[in-house]
Structure 1
Amino acid sequence: MDDIQFNQAVETVIAKVRAVYGRWRRDTSIEDMRRDWDELFWSDRLSCETQDHVANGVPVRWVRALEAREERTLIYLHGGGFKMGSLTSHHDLMVRLSRAGDCRVLGVDYRLLPEHRFPEPLVDVLAVYDWLLAQGYEPRQMALAGDSAGGGLAAATLHALRDKGRPLPAAAALLSAWTDLHVNAESYRTRAELDPIHQQPMLIALARQYLGEKGSCSDPLASPLCGDLAGLPPLLLQVGEREVGFDDSALFVAKAQMAGGQAELEVWPDMIHVFQQFAEELPEARAAIEHIGAFLKRHWI
Structure 2
Amino acid sequence: MASPESLMVKQLLKAQSAGQGQPAAAEFSIEAARQGLEMLSALTPDVSDVQVEKTAIEGIPAEWVSAPNAKADRVFLYLHGGAYIMGSCNTHRYLASKLSFSTEARVLVPEYRLAPEHPFPAALEDALHAYHWLCSSGYQPENIIIGGDSAGGGLTMSTLLTLKENGEPLPAVAVLISPWTDLAGTGESMETRKEADPWLSPNLTLEVPVMYLREIDPKNPIVSPIYADLSGLPPMIVHVGNDEILLDDSTRLVDRALSAGADVTFKIWEDMWHVFQTFTIPEGQQSIDEIGEFVKSKLR
Q: Which amino acid aligns with 2:7?
A: E
Question: In 2 relative to 1, CA 31–209 (structure 1 residues): closer, same or farther, beyond 3 Å?
Answer: closer
Q: Could you tell me which residue of structure 2 aligns to residue 135 of structure 1?
A: 137
Tell me if structure 2 keeps the 8 A contact 1:111–1:121.
Answer: yes
Q: Which amino acid aligns with 1:70?
A: A
Q: Could you tell me which residue of structure 2 aligns to residue 285 of structure 1?
A: 284
Q: Could you tell me which residue of structure 2 aligns to residue 246 of structure 1?
A: 247
Q: Could you tell me which residue of structure 1 aligns to residue 146 of structure 2?
A: 144
Size of the aligned set, in residue pairs, is 294
Q: Could you tell me which residue of structure 1 aligns to residue 219 of structure 2?
A: 218
Q: Could you tell me which residue of structure 2 aligns to residue 153 of structure 1?
A: 155
Which shows bigger deviation, 257-266 or 185-194? 185-194
Tell me if structure 1 keeps the 8 A contact 2:254–2:264.
Answer: yes
Offset from partner CA, 1:95-116 (integer Å, 9 cap, x none):
0000011110000101112211
Where 1:90 maps in the other structure, the secondary structure is helix
Q: Which amino acid aligns with 1:71?
A: D
Deviation at 1:33, TM superposition (A): 3.0
Tell me if structure 2 keeps the 8 A contact 1:17–1:40.
Answer: no
Question: In 2 relative to 1, CA 33–190 (structure 1 residues): closer, same or farther, beyond 3 Å?
Answer: closer
Deviation at 1:119, TM superposition (A): 1.1
CA distance in structure 2 between the aligned counterparts of 1:126 and 1:38, rounded to whole angstroms: 25
Identical residues among aligned pairs (%)? 39
For structure 1, list consecutive stretches of 5 or more residues without a partner in the other structure: none
Where 1:184 maps in the other structure, the secondary structure is coil
Q: Could you tell me which residue of structure 2 aligns to residue 186 of structure 1?
A: 188
Q: Could you tell me which residue of structure 2 aligns to residue 176 of structure 1?
A: 178
CA distance in structure 2 between the aligned counterparts of 1:179 and 1:152, rounded to whole angstroms: 5
Where 1:89 maps in the other structure, the secondary structure is helix
CA distance in structure 2 between the aligned counterparts of 1:241 and 1:204, rounded to whole angstroms: 19
Deviation at 1:39, TM superposition (A): 2.1
Question: In 2 relative to 1, CA 111–16 (structure 1 residues): closer, same or farther, beyond 3 Å?
Answer: farther
Q: Which amino acid aligns with 1:283?
A: P
Q: Does 1:55 align with 2:54?
A: no
Offset from partner CA, 1:211-267 (integer Å, 9 cap, x none):
112x11121210011110000000100000101111110111111110011112111
CA distance in structure 2 between the aligned counterparts of 1:97 and 1:91, rounded to whole angstroms: 10
Tell me if structure 2 keeps the 8 A contact 1:118–1:210.
Answer: yes
CA distance in structure 1 between the aligned counterparts of 2:241 and 2:143, rounded to whole angstroms: 29
Offset from partner CA, 1:62-104 (integer Å, 9 cap, x none):
1001232121000001111111111101101000000011110
CA distance in structure 1 between the aligned counterparts of 2:72 and 2:207, rounded to whole angstroms: 40
Q: Which amino acid aligns with 2:40?
A: L
Deviation at 1:201, TM superposition (A): 1.7
Deviation at 1:270, TM superposition (A): 0.6
Which shows bigger deviation, 44-53 or 231-240? 44-53
Tell me if structure 1 keeps the 8 A contact 2:6–2:283.
Answer: no
Deviation at 1:8, TM superposition (A): 4.2
